[in-house]
Amino acid sequence: MAKSILITGGTGSFGKAFLKKILESKLYERIVIYSRDELKQWELQQTFSIQKYPSLRYFLGDIRDKSRLREALENIDVVVHAAALKQVPAAEYNPMEFIKTNVLGANNLIEACLATSVKKVIALSTDKAAAPINLYGATKLCSDKLFVAANNIKGNKEILFSVVRYGNVMGSRGSVIPYFLNMKKSGKLPITDIKMTRFNITLADGVKMVEWAMNNALGGEIFVPKIPSYRVIDVADAIDETCEKDIIGIRPGEKLHEEMITESDAPNTIDIGKYYAILPSDKTYEQKYIDAGITFKKFSLENGSYNSGTNSEFLSVESLKELIKNECKNIDI
């Protein structure tokens, strides 16, 4: 029988792309969008209406509200957790609000899933959760730890919890590319540091990765994709080489380079082909992969971590130009 699925934060950049993909698949009898913004839900319904897609439902609710989550999760089989507060400067100024949503909200979701018939939970994370230096990253690290540890308290319930962690999503709200595309009109692009790098993933590849995790997760993993990096200065050149580059310095809470697998996580990380999987230190999780007949090898990099600055693959200016055209079609570049 086809499954039912709920997406928290379903009106965001990822949620909309993921919804489109699963509606096309026709694999789910019931799809629930759970989010707190009525305007964004109304806007999404203009494209994906209940009349056109009878399997679709929209639930207004906040992940801070456990009782509402409990109602929304009735008869749901799979949960994709994309709801979060994400802006780094806002987190530094409003720390408890981020803790309430990203940490306590995650725990609410876990408890609500354990109290219902949910079978699988995939939570979205970020590279900023690896060795975090800002509050946003710290809250997402806490969230990751909560979802991984939830596998220890499920008892005899047939449910598993896993995490997907990836880098900057090209063209998503809050990413540097839409900002640069808008700023190029001024003839000047602000660059934090000429050496700054970031991991890059397209929205489509992010959606594919979550789908893959839904089908292949065994529980307890933090999945990490093998993706290229870019230099922020190259992004600026790809958008407009003629613009003046104004070096403004790294802002509070920013790193020069991001990590997705830290040196400390490396010993517990396995290479499963297209993705890495950070496993809990409990060796029984590695045994799960052996028992499932899944081929893997131990994670190994010369520098001991998976870092955007020492990554083996970088996007060229020409590659970035092509990707920006494809991923930001609605913006004139």
In order, the DSSP letters of 277-331 are EEPPSSTHHHHHHHHTT---EE---TTSSEETTT-S-B--HHHHHHHHHHHTTTS
The per-residue b/e assignment along 24-47, b for 16 or more CB within 10 angstroms, e otherwise, is eeeebebbbbbbbeeebbeebbee
Q: Which two tokens stand for residue 204?
A: 């489509």
User: What count of Cα atoms within 13 Å lies in the side-chain half-sphere of residue 73?
Assistant: 27
Helix%, strand%, coil% for the chain, nearest 5:
40, 20, 40
In angstroms, rounded to a whole number, what is the distance separating the alpha carbons of residues 203 and 182?
A: 20
Check if the beta carbon of residue 31 is closer than 8 Å to that of residue 57: yes
- The span from the CA of 184 to the CA of 194, in Å, is 18
Q: What is the dihedral of CA 273, 278, 280, 283, to 10 degrees?
A: 30
Please check whether residue 165 is in contact with residue 132, taking contact to mean a CB–CB distance below 8 angstroms. Answer: no
| Coil, strand or helix at 28 | strand
Structure tokens at 75: 């008869």
- Using an 8 Å Cβ cutoff, are 151 and 218 in contact? no
Our answer to whether residue 128 is catalytic in this structure is: yes
Q: Which of 128, 140, 255, 321 is catalytic?
A: 128
Catalytic residues: 128
